[in-house]
A and B are shown apart, each in its own frame.
Chain A
Amino acid sequence: MKRVKDFFNHIGRGLLTPEIYNDARLSRRFYKYFLIGILVRSMLLPFFFQRDLLSTFQRAGETVFAGNFDTSFQQIITHTIHTAYLFIINSIVPAVGEYSSILLDTDTWTSWINFVASDNIFTVLTLFKGLYFIFDLLCMFFILRLSYDNDPEGRLKVFKYWMFNPVTIFVLYIFARHDIIGVLVTIIALFLAKKDRKYWSILILAFAIALRFFPIMILLPLIFYLARSKKDYILLSALGVSGLAIVEAFSNIFYRKSLIFSLLNAQHFNYILSAKLDLIIHDRIFLFIVAYFLIVFSFIHNRKKNFDLLINYGAIIYLSYIALCYFHPQYVLWTIPFLVIIFARRRNLVYYHWIQFGLLMVILIYWGDLVTKFVFAPLDHKFFIYITGLIPIIERFYSSVNFVNIFRSIFTAVSLWMIYLIYRDNRKISGARLDGGSR
């Protein structure tokens, strides 16, 4: 009996960190946050999704049910994870197999209608979104360890802000997008950076870049944080791009086409270039690229770099991206691992973040029925197909484009103000040993 108790105590300490686990008051608070967070997530799991979730699993279904691996060339690793997961749940739950005809249906409209109208949709949605729930759980426990080494209260706050973060809950459990996979790998890379495992950290970040393009934005600051010699700069830079290089080599051998050029020519890469200043003839300045390098230079010239400063700069980079560029709602998730750590220190930022989230809910209208009323279609597909959409209602009284863009502009203002507040915070934490790791 004692051994069993010791075993669970050991797991508890491992999951919660010894400081929180050994303090009865803190561990109870931790448990309360955990349970309430899980309750909110569980309640949303079966009922909502955005069409892209079905597309992702349709591509996985092509591999599992039709043996076709050639369906998701631009996101090979993400596709492989979904395929493996679908294979496992299909082996365990027979209801999933009944969906093979829907998953193999190439007509986007009829497959969606058949999916939302099906009797077992709640079970299947719970299982599909369960994958993101697993990654979310892992993020919870990694993010707990990312900062505030000698401050269990601070760690608990970070945990609370992750558990109740509206963007995390919305993106994973209402919108149901897979960005959390890349986010987890990026958090692990940051965790390793904090532990001074510089090569592992960059290798894992390279893997994150291969998963999703976004982590490339923190590659430069991470290299400058970790490198101590010229050799480090060369090695870490080579390692950093290795993830993309491997995936590029694989795609050239397996698919006989270039992944990098396909990504560069994809509509999504143009989002980064969407904010621009047209000068004359062909001369043009891309605002995010200007902002990005200014942020990186600012980080480089900070003599007293520490891990919290790196986190602050990560937040600044991703906030600049969503402030200046065209983005999809799920991209906001990339700011969250950085922001929740800063929230524990600067509570006023939490209020701005909630405003950001509220504005994001209005900006969503951009994408029409697919991301507004159709998200609720599993509840009663006919009702949510035929109910009047938000765009026609707004359009009836005012230009919907102007309406949304007014809120978009406020969103940008709030994001830029948050950047300013974080920049002010930089001065305070620069050189301070908040995390136990400074250089």
Chain B
Amino acid sequence: MRRPLKLFILILLLAVLTIILSGCQGVSFIPGASYGYYVWEDEGRIHISWSIDRKDASFSGSISTDGNIGEVELVAWEDNDVSEITEDTLSYTSTLDPDDYTDGIIIEITGYTYIELDTKINDGYDLSRVHLGAFLNNPEDSPFRISPGYFEEVRAIPWYEKKPFSGFFEKLYNNIYFTFAFLFIIGVIVIEIIRITAFSGRKLRKLYTGIAYIILICLEVAVYFLLRLFVL
């Protein structure tokens, strides 16, 4: 009875972990719950969507380029939402409310060296809510430019440089003496548990315990180099 329960919990944890980690690989949002701009590229077309947690809000801005604007698709657009296309610029004003969860634009641009985006929320800028290709991959200024291959570059960023791992590893590295002490204490407790359970009654338990401590020290050194690699 206990084994299937443990197996179930393990599978559940793995599933949750997979969802969390896969969530870090791209930009995804829940219309009507997530708040901000979400920009990504799919099959050569740029997707720009915006959403808010069921409140009244206006999203406005522009997309301009030195390339050619091709097909433009307005997603979930309502009568009061406005878009205007000139040769090199698409301007938009759109509103969301408790019943209108999300609006968006899918735009095909070819032959460009840059795409310039200006993304306003309620006539102001909140750049931490503009996610480019990955959650919290935010622009530093507005308007901001995207060059060709930008989204491939974002996709190629290793997991440890993405949030929340990057922030966590940075704190561990900046506080390295704490990290060492913390890992050492945790390691000592784990070794002690193994000593009184798995090593208990064995002839060579002292040797095994010694080896466990050597492994712990090696692990500390490895953690230092890993954190250096992750952070620097």
Which residues from chain A sit less than 8 Å from chain B, CB to CB?
Answer: 28, 31-32, 35-36, 38-39, 42-43, 46, 119-123, 126, 378-384, 386-388, 392-393, 395-396
Contacts and interface: CB of A to CB of B under 8 A. Distances in A.
Interface in B169-194: 171-172, 174-175, 178-179, 182, 185-186, 189-190, 192-193
Contacts of B53: 388, 392, 395-396
B174 A119 contact: yes
Contacts of B167: 379-383
Contacts of A383: 135-136, 163-164, 167
Nearest to A387: B135
A386 B32 contact: no
B186 A43 contact: yes
8 A-B pairs with least C-beta separation:
A380-B167, A380-B164, A392-B53, A383-B164, A392-B33, A383-B163, A119-B174, A396-B33
Contacts of B128: 382, 386
Nearest to B173: A119
Given A32-B193, A42-B186, A388-B33, A119 B175 contact: yes
B197 A393 contact: no
A39 B33 contact: no
A396 B30 contact: yes
A122 B178 contact: yes
B171 A395 contact: no
B163 A46 contact: no
Contact of B196 (A28, A381, A387, A393): A28
A381 B163 CA distance: 10
Contacts of A28: 196, 200
B172 to A, nearest CB: 7
Given A126-B182, A392-B32, A396-B30, 8 more contacts: A28-B196, A42-B189, A119-B171, A119-B174, A120-B175, A122-B182, A379-B168, A382-B167
Contact of B30 (A123, A381, A393): A393
B129 interface: yes
B181 to A, nearest CB: 9
Nearest to B98: A395
Contacts of B165: 380
B193 A386 contact: no
A266 B74 CA distance: 54
A386 B186 contact: no
Contact of B182 (A46, A119, A395): A46
Contacts of B129: 386
B34 interface: yes
Given A120-B175, A123-B175, A38 B182 contact: no
B101 interface: yes
A380 B101 CA distance: 28
A393 B33 contact: yes
A349 B159 CA distance: 43
Given A42-B186, A384-B164, A395-B53, A120 B178 contact: yes
B54 interface: yes
A388 B35 contact: yes
Considering residues A32, A38, A122, A393, which has the most beta carbons from chain B within 10 angstroms of its beta carbon? A122
Contacts of B182: 42, 46, 122, 126
A39 B186 CA distance: 6
Nearest to A388: B34
B166 interface: yes
10 contacts: A35-B193, A39-B190, A39-B193, A43-B186, A388-B29, A392-B34, A393-B33, A395-B53, A396-B32, A396-B54
B185 A42 contact: yes
